[in-house]
Structure 1
């Protein structure tokens, strides 16, 4: 399965990384739920996420 890049509801400061709790900039929607990642953890896992996610919302361009 190859994930599609989509535009969904914008992630906000209230959305937190499931790994470390930092602000999330990437939402990976899986077949049964979703995972949120900060920029650092998204970069670490993006290749695998592209293989298994249904869709990926990537807003890392908003990181200042």
Structure 2
């Protein structure tokens, strides 16, 4: 109990990253979620009303680019 601490949590979205996720962060305005793992970072728009969630962008890393 204290200032800035969560009192309740609810599930908002399922993000099908597809492989092991090593890191997750949320943008400052809570619009995008970034998931990272196994050579890629995926960007998700969580304000979208789509029923089938797919990343808006996939950024490959740890490859020759």
- For normalisation by structure 2, the TM-score amounts to 0.28
Point out the structure with the larger strand share: 2
Bigger CA radius of gyration: 2
Higher relative contact order (CA 8 A, sep 6+): 1
